[in-house]
Chains A and B, each alone.
Chain A
């Protein structure tokens, strides 16, 4: 929206075109006919999204066990999130997961993408891409089950470590308080890196070849070229990757549900898991909704901040 304002409309229009001034002025009055076209979408949105969202907020203001009479709680359920160390830890854990779901995959994928493109024409690039994208296609429950087997005390990882004499390092990765969260996080890295890489490779393809040629003529090396041409050219893709992966990190549920049940202790408890657990397990529906609302707000806020990084249209 802001970009249109920067760009005077008149300049883009052919000289002969009639001036749109009057129309624009009328446009400031609400055009109800326009909303009529949006109505079907709006109805679907309202029924399936806005109404449940409203109910979510409503229930979060009550103490309710899910079946019997509820009592008004005000903001009790929200203050509980701030007071309960276990819930606070849950939110903290999901920020740790952002490191594993977003930061590491994006950094790695950038390097890999830059290297891949420098290799020139590769044979079977599409096969390679499909393979690296595969984790995104596999159902999360399957992924979690497979990784649980890998991380098990007698699993593939420990067997491999023992085989090369690293007996001391072998441990029950998902059952050890210090490694459980990073272990879950690394599954996320494995999951997201393909998505980032595919996005970036496509993005590099869109960067004009002249820029690379110019960089070469100016005597830029591989590193300089990456920072001067590739990275700025990928800002849009990085934003998309950030948005998708941060959301994936914050809403992680199935991974923890299958692999650790939030354990050991509460070392891998996450807000999304708590929402499920409190709503369906322990009969704290109000509290579950309050956590869900908070989580939604956090996700919205982070997504908003990420879009701030997005390049302005006139820069591309």
Chain B
């Protein structure tokens, strides 16, 4: 032992030194990620061929997030129709749920053989990052060739625009178009509302009055469950849209101007939400209840309201038939509604796609009149409702269509708040849980959001 001790550390030392040298050389030699300008092999500009039939034998790989029943059915029908129309094109569809797509798309896009068409989420965290890394190509030339630039209202197009460096949203190149629309609104139980002697609410004040009246009569005012964390963004967003107004919310999320999350409008929204929680409007134990449980309890008629996205109509309509209505709130009576929402994930073409013209034609197939119609017939809300799409009166789908038209055509669409910064989803969802549980004052809540915001602004 005594003779061996001195030797072993020395040998270990040599090994450690060798390892360290190796690691350091590696570190110094290359940095992770692409080095500087990435050369794109395929052409991303020039004239467009709008006839895929002339493209020869093509396999188009498409990544979408249409795993919900209705969305899946319409995508499958359209893919089939496209392949029937152009037998030379084979569509290889990869469909993942929203969360799975969000976590795997980055890896897929940065690989050597990315898919041709992908659904990219709007906002700085996803589309902005992809554009910055030059993984998506501008589709302005297809927009012109297929007339998307005139068919879509500008606020829907702007959501899919980014400056070429990915740093400024809502301006610059168009990086995709969307097939469906969605807004967050108020689902109400018609029979329960009638028994309270109330009309469907149209403003935030009216909504709060109804909440109070329901509570007083012993009825659960709102079904709310935030264990999944995402519903927190929706409920806060809806309140903020009305309390702070559309121009302030847009400034905050699109990062235009010098609006702050600590400004009075957002503070008022936080105070309102906290009051709802304190008064028991949100029920008890909401931070331990899942989103599905909340939707389910509203569907069973256990509460008056549900604040949710239009996508829940497919779940609620079969259960509640014509007893469920949908509305979006406006800032004051008589003004058009303003709410959170947007369009489905944008259909985008990747930079490395070898068949970008076919990809463009495919996207047009999804978003042209026929594509919108297919989406509608399978129970989705088309971004551009065709003139002949008329859901049966009295159904929740009819309400949703009316509200979507009112919101999207009268400039009432506000972006989801988690688009704000790459980490905003985490910051906001955690903060909402703390605010509603009484662990964070409205003021501390707003400064938490602002600190995430300003560190993002400084890093850009």
Residues of A within 8 A of B (CB): 2, 5-6, 28, 30, 54-55, 57-59, 61-62, 64-72, 151-153, 171-177, 260-266, 277, 280-285
A261 touches B229 (CB 8 A): yes
B287 touches A264 (CB 8 A): yes
A73 to chain B, nearest CB (A): 10
A28 touches B31 (CB 8 A): no
Rounded to whole angstroms, the CA-CA distance of A316 and B287 in the bound complex is 52
Query: Per-position contact with A for B155-193: 1 when CB-CB < 8 Å, else 0?
Result: 000000000001000000000000000000000000000
Q: A264 and B23 in contact (CB under 8 A), knowing A70-B31, A284-B423?
A: no
Q: Which residues of B248-302 have CB atoms within 8 Å of chain A's CB atoms?
A: 284-290, 293
Q: A residues within 8 A CB of B22?
A: 54
A175 touches B288 (CB 8 A): yes
**Is B106 interfacial (CB-CB < 8 Å)?**
yes
**CB < 8 Å neighbour of B293 from A62, A152, A264:** A152
* 25 A-B residue pairings within 8 Å (CB atoms): A5-B1, A54-B22, A54-B26, A59-B32, A65-B129, A67-B110, A67-B130, A68-B134, A70-B33, A151-B288, A153-B289, A171-B288, A174-B288, A175-B227, A177-B437, A263-B287, A263-B429, A264-B288, A265-B439, A265-B440, A266-B430, A281-B103, A281-B425, A282-B125, A283-B125
**Is B56 interfacial (CB-CB < 8 Å)?**
no
Q: B residues within 8 A CB of A65?
A: 129, 132-133, 422
Q: B residues within 8 A CB of A6?
A: 1
A264 touches B32 (CB 8 A): no
Q: A residues within 8 A CB of B437?
A: 176-177, 264-265
Known: A152-B289, A172-B286, A284-B423; 13 extra A-B contacts, CB below 8 A, are A54-B22, A57-B23, A62-B32, A65-B132, A67-B130, A69-B31, A69-B34, A72-B31, A172-B284, A175-B285, A175-B289, A264-B226, A264-B288
User: Closest residue to B107 on the A side, CB-wise?
Assistant: A66
**Is B4 interfacial (CB-CB < 8 Å)?**
yes
Q: A residues within 8 A CB of B23?
A: 54, 57-58
**Is B316 interfacial (CB-CB < 8 Å)?**
no
Q: A67 and B109 in contact (CB under 8 A), knowing A58-B26, A62-B32, A175-B227?
A: yes
Q: B residues within 8 A CB of A61?
A: 27
User: Closest residue to B35 on the A side, CB-wise?
Assistant: A69
Q: A residues within 8 A CB of B36?
A: 69
A206 to chain B, nearest CB (A): 29
A234 to chain B, nearest CB (A): 29
A172 touches B4 (CB 8 A): no
Size bracket, chain B contacts: 35 or more
A68 touches B422 (CB 8 A): no
User: Closest residue to B429 on the A side, CB-wise?
Assistant: A263
A229 to chain B, nearest CB (A): 32
Q: B residues within 8 A CB of A261?
A: 227-229
User: Closest residue to A50 on the B side, CB-wise?
Assistant: B19
B102 touches A281 (CB 8 A): yes
A28 touches B32 (CB 8 A): no
User: Closest residue to A266 on the B side, CB-wise?
Assistant: B430
Q: Which residues of B420-460 have CB atoms within 8 Å of chain A's CB atoms?
A: 422-423, 425-426, 429-431, 433-434, 437, 439-440
User: Closest residue to A171 on the B side, CB-wise?
Assistant: B285
User: Closest residue to B37 on the A side, CB-wise?
Assistant: A69
Rounded to whole angstroms, the CA-CA distance of A54 and B293 in the bound complex is 45
B34 touches A172 (CB 8 A): no
User: Closest residue to B124 on the A side, CB-wise?
Assistant: A283
B439 touches A28 (CB 8 A): no
B103 touches A263 (CB 8 A): no
B95 to chain A, nearest CB (A): 19
Q: B residues within 8 A CB of A171?
A: 285, 288
Rounded to whole angstroms, the CA-CA distance of A59 and B440 in the bound complex is 35
**Is B54 interfacial (CB-CB < 8 Å)?**
no
Rounded to whole angstroms, the CA-CA distance of A281 and B98 in the bound complex is 12
Rounded to whole angstroms, the CA-CA distance of A55 and B31 in the bound complex is 10
A67 touches B426 (CB 8 A): no
A255 to chain B, nearest CB (A): 14
Rounded to whole angstroms, the CA-CA distance of A57 and B289 in the bound complex is 39
Q: B residues within 8 A CB of A281?
A: 102-103, 425-426
**Is B135 interfacial (CB-CB < 8 Å)?**
yes
Query: Per-position contact with A for B94-125: 1 when CB-CB < 8 Å, else 0?
Result: 00000000111011011000000000000001
User: Closest residue to B286 on the A side, CB-wise?
Assistant: A175
Q: Which of B125, B284, B430 has the most CB of A within 10 A?
A: B430
Q: A residues within 8 A CB of B287?
A: 172, 175-176, 263-264
Q: A67 and B33 in contact (CB under 8 A), knowing A172-B287, A265-B437?
A: yes
A138 to chain B, nearest CB (A): 21
B433 touches A265 (CB 8 A): yes
**Is B194 interfacial (CB-CB < 8 Å)?**
no
Q: B residues within 8 A CB of A66?
A: 33, 106-107, 110, 129
Q: A residues within 8 A CB of B293?
A: 152
Query: Per-position contact with A for B1-42: 1 when CB-CB < 8 Å, else 0?
Result: 100100100010000000000110011000111111000000
**CB < 8 Å neighbour of A263 from B129, B133, B135, B229:** B229
A36 to chain B, nearest CB (A): 17
B19 to chain A, nearest CB (A): 8
Q: B residues within 8 A CB of A57?
A: 23, 27
User: Closest residue to B11 on the A side, CB-wise?
Assistant: A30
Rounded to whole angstroms, the CA-CA distance of A152 and B35 in the bound complex is 49
A262 touches B110 (CB 8 A): no
Q: Which of B7, B23, B226 has the most CB of A within 10 A?
A: B23
Q: A residues within 8 A CB of B135?
A: 67
**CB < 8 Å neighbour of A5 from B4, B107, B134, B288:** B4
Q: A260 and B227 in contact (CB under 8 A), knowing A64-B32, A65-B129, A284-B422?
A: yes
User: Closest residue to A183 on the B side, CB-wise?
Assistant: B288
B177 to chain A, nearest CB (A): 22
A58 touches B227 (CB 8 A): no
